[in-house]
């Protein structure tokens, strides 16, 4: 089943985000290579493709997992969480309708 994982950035965490980015992307790449990643990306903190020093308000990942517990376990191991980027993470089931 698909699961939506939303990480919400804390205040002033752009430096931590940039430092943990390589490890974060590696995990997403592994999901993609396994055919389990629908989409992933950050949410700019301002209305701009490149928010510069304003940074990001969080990230969204939609990926396939065997269960909600498995999705939560994957989210709990995110390098952004360990680095203190995310103040909180929400994981919930997602039903793909379109495209």
Rounded-to-integer distance, Cα 69 and Cα 76, Å: 10
9, 89 in Cβ contact below 8 A? no
Confidence of residue 99 (pLDDT cuts 50, 70, 90): confident
Residue pair 60/4 in contact (Cβ under 8 Å)? The answer is yes
For residues 17 and 85, is the Cβ–Cβ distance under 8 A? yes
Work out the mean pLDDT of the chain and round it to a whole number. 97
pTM attached to this predicted model: 0.95
């Amino acid at each position: 089943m698909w699961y939506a994982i939303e990480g919400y950035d804390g205040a002033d965490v752009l430096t931590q985000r940039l430092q943990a980015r390589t490890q974060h992307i590696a995990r997403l790449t592994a999901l993609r290579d396994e055919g389990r990643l629908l989409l992933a990306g950050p949410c700019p903190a301002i209305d701009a493709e490149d928010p510069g020093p304003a940074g990001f308000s969080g990230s969204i990942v939609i990926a396939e997992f065997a269960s909600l517990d498995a999705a939560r376990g994957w989210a709990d191991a995110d390098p952004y969480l360990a680095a203190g980027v995310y103040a909180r993470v929400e994981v919930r089931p997602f039903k793909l309708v379109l495209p």
